Amino acid sequence: MDDLKKAYEQLGLPENASREEVEQAFDLALRKSRSRKGADDTDSEYERSLRAYKLITGYEDQRKIEQMSQERFAKWGKFAGTAENIDDFFRIYKTRVIISVIAVIVLIFGINAFVDYRAEQKRIAALPPLDLSILFIGNFAVDEANKGEEALEQAILAQFPEWNRVDLQMTYVPEQGEMVYRQKAMAVIATEKPDLYIIDKPTFEWISGGGGFRSLQEESNGVLSSVLPDEAALRAQAEEDPEPQVYAIDLTSSELTEQLPLAKKEMIAATGWGEERHDNTILFIQRYLEHMK
């Protein structure tokens, strides 16, 4: 129980904190971690908060399971313990059989997955070098009946004939931003490192203040200054910023945006932290700005 108490303290919460308060505290810890990129400390503040979050939620889930079990066998009165032991016996016996069947299935699928993986690796190796990776986060949708993301990739390549390949990934977050969708999006943001983020306004307001995006202030004052309308420059202020800076650019009014087979309300561009294709990322934004209405 001392570990559980320390976990609540790590998240800055009392031991009677609700699940929602735990989720909010972890959300805050993730945002702070995004603003401290480049830290060498492997046992970072975020990692400690992640361990605390897992310990608390795991404890709560186990407690719910035990409570449900007690309610289930309460009808047996003083024989509840015996009934539960008998149920456990048959459940364990049945589980062993199921596990054996699953093991065979997993082995078969594992072999097939390995074969598919090797084939996929060969396919990727034969592809041209990647020109830009794009992560869509927000209230976006593609027409799956008409080649979906593939059609979107081809539409972008048509706008950049000097490119050979772009890679797209989409993470849906509704306009209301329900917690379950945000949790999924946070996991994607923490693990994926795209060159370019395409987001909507609710996503920008949610992420930008926590240092989730790279500042575009230098580019806004430089290479983009001649084509960037002031109203398209979206500013935010992270903890380390002395004053608001440009963190994203609204491309909704670009004629190129209208050409994309993409259901959207807004289309806002923000940049990732990688350097390898940063020039192409800025080229993408610049070309869309050159076609603003």
Select the more confidently predicted residue: 227 or 102.
227
Q: Extract the tokens encoding 50.
A: 């992640």
Q: Is 184 helix (H, G, I), strand (E, B) or coil?
A: helix
Find the mean pLDDT for residues 212-235.
93
User: Which sequence spans correspond to the domains of the chain?
Assistant: 2-74, 129-290
137-165: pLDDT as tens digits: 999 999 888 889 999 999 999 999 999 99
Confidence of residue 50 (pLDDT cuts 50, 70, 90): confident
Beta strands in the chain, from DSSP E residues, in sequence order: 132-138, 166-172, 196-199, 233-236, 245-250, 268-271
**Confidence (pLDDT) at 210:** 60
Q: Are 137 and 203 in contact (CB under 8 A)?
A: yes
Select the more confidently predicted residue: 243 or 35.
243
pLDDT of residue 271 exceeding 80, the answer is yes
Strand partners, 246: 235
Residue percentage of the chain with pLDDT more than 70 = 81
Quote the crossing angle between the two packed helices 80-126 and 45-73, to the nearest 10°: 140
Share the mean pLDDT of the chain. 81
Residue in 206, 201, 141 with CA at minimum distance from that of residue 171: 141
Quote the crossing angle between the two packed helices 45-73 and 2-10, to the nearest 10°: 130
Confidence of residue 91 (pLDDT cuts 50, 70, 90): low
Which CATH number does 129-290 carry?
3.40.190
CA distance 90 to 237: 59
Q: Extract the tokens encoding 122.
A: 């060969």
| Best-predicted range by mean pLDDT (22-36, 118-132, 231-245) | 231-245
pLDDT of residue 220 exceeding 50, the answer is yes
Q: Are 287 and 254 in contact (CB under 8 A)?
A: no
Find the mean pLDDT for residues 28-48.
66
pLDDT of residue 22 exceeding 50, the answer is yes
pTM for this entry: 0.58
CA distance 105 to 107: 5
